[in-house]
Structure 1
Amino acid sequence: MDGETAVRAYQLEDGPRERLLRLGASALRIDELLACIMQSGNGRQNVYAIAQSVVDHLGGLDALADIEVAELLQIPGIGRAKAVQIAAAVELGRRIARKPATEKRQIRTADDAAKYVMDRMRYLKKEHFVTLLLDTRHHVLAEDTSSIGSLDASIVHPREIFRRAVRCSASGILCVHNHPSGDPSPSPEDIAVTKRLVEAGRLLGIDVLDHIVIGDGRYVSLRAAGYLDHG
């Protein structure tokens, strides 16, 4: 059997779809999972070559977690249909990572908050500022993504942060944002925004329980660091 025949035999007899059926999705590499999602080639390249192009372009799973259709369309072999397939699969993963509001997840500690958002925020390529709205027993009533981009006081404004908290009759809020660098050390801007929100919450009677900075598998609680102390 020559090399080309051997590859064809692998694709037919033990390709990603067959291995997924036999071993489960967790046994597949990233390129194999992408091949399963895209299903077919484009007439010039087979689906395995296109999947490898995606992996080579992205450099790994981290970038895939925050991929957009426009970026996918820049990859050789990816047209609109395949870009939509990949983007939809990624979005499903994001939504699965979120706990449904109907579960009323309870946030008792900074560690609870970090675990609640870590899997969906640690790989984001831009800073996302998320506000968790909590009831008197610290159950999550809802959550808002208040801003996307560099964190400063002009972007994260108390008016926007507390508007929905008032509408939901939230007893408190817990703020979370990520650092795309992977280092969760709070910046001077992080600290300034936190203090401003604490003061605004005090006037409204809504507690700012904590501000968690998410890194790559690590986090920092600004309350634990002493930045939410009443002055």
Structure 2
Amino acid sequence: MKRHYDVAQEELSFYGNEGTSLQNILAVLIGPKANASITGQLASLGINSLADLSVEELKKYQGIGEVPAKRIVSAFGLANQIRKFKKDEEYIVRSPEDAAKYFNDLEGLQQEHFEAIFLNTKNVVIGRKNVFKGSLNASIVHPRETFKEAIRLSAASIIVAHNHPSGNATPSREDIEVTKRLKEVGQVTGIELLDHVIIGTSGKFISLKEKGYV
């Protein structure tokens, strides 16, 4: 009987990435010791939940050691970077809706991700940075980390965004405090904070600019 890994490799070779199941892609990443029961459990989590797992969380699954766990995390990291790079190709932000659409990959993540995009004088996206991952806290999301990249890129303005894993995009007190701090720093540096967008679920979002906080 063929190993799960061998079957997965054959499927990948024959059908390519798009035609290979998530379970079998995981088997290829894990290697010869891949267990069909474990890859099935992981695949059943869905892409968003699986992409959010850390190396330590993956190692809790039987048969997944340090190296396979890092391969999986790296694969999702690479896919995310490619997706962001494609978005950056002459993407112009003209409205909160445009900003929310740009950050739609944050929807459904199990942890909060606080990110920033940097724009030129024509509002074209020239870069993106993950500033923080975890529960949003005004003392943790330091403006220095956000504006350092903006200065390096000679950005004219920035837009920040983060997701609410609960799906409810209503801004919290911390969200408002972070926004005010970033706005103040933007005024000092001359790099304007255009908006802070909170991503919920089902395409729902809230613009703190529209709420009068920016």
- 1:197 touches 1:208 (CA, 8 Å); kept in 2? yes
Choose the corresponding residue for 1:49, options 25, 31, 37. 37
Q: Which aligned runs of 4 or more in structure 1 are off by greater than 6 angstroms?
A: 9-13
Report deviation, 1:53: 4.1
- When structure 1 is superposed on structure 2, of 126-135 and 145-154 the one drifting more is 145-154
2:213 corresponds to 1:221: no
Q: Deviations over 1:62-81 (max 9, x none)?
A: 22111222111111111233
Report deviation, 1:140: 1.9
Match of 1:4 in 2: none
Q: Deviations over 1:104-148 (max 9, x none)?
A: 4322222222222322x2243332221212111012232232223
Match of 1:189 in 2: 174
- 1:101 touches 1:141 (CA, 8 Å); kept in 2? no
- 2:3 touches 2:32 (CA, 8 Å); kept in 1? no
Give matches, 1:114-125, under 5 Å. 114-119=100-105, 121-125=106-110
Structure 2 segments unaligned to the other structure (5+ residues): none
Q: Deviations over 1:31-83 (max 9, x none)?
A: 23322333423xxxx64233124346xx3332211122211111111123322
Choose the corresponding residue for 1:169, options 154, 160, 165. 154
TM-score by length of 2: 0.81
| CA separation of 1:24 and 1:144: change in aligned 2, threshold 3 A | closer
User: Alignment partner of 2:85: what SS?
Assistant: coil
| CA separation of 1:72 and 1:11: change in aligned 2, threshold 3 A | closer
User: Alignment partner of 1:103: what SS?
Assistant: coil
2:59 corresponds to 1:67: no
- 2:179 touches 2:213 (CA, 8 Å); kept in 1? yes
- 2:88 touches 2:127 (CA, 8 Å); kept in 1? no
In 1: Cα distance, 2:5 partner to 2:92 partner: 48
| CA separation of 1:175 and 1:12: change in aligned 2, threshold 3 A | closer
TM-score by length of 1: 0.76
For the pair shown, the structure with the greater C-alpha radius of gyration is 1
Choose the corresponding residue for 1:31, options 2, 14, 23. 23
Match of 2:129 in 1: 144
- 1:129 touches 1:175 (CA, 8 Å); kept in 2? yes
| CA separation of 1:87 and 1:209: change in aligned 2, threshold 3 A | same
Q: Deviations over 1:76-97 (max 9, x none)?
A: 1112332233223222222222
One-letter amino acid of the structure 2 residue matched with residue 216 of structure 1: T
Structure 1 segments unaligned to the other structure (5+ residues): 1-7
In 1: Cα distance, 2:73 partner to 2:185 partner: 38
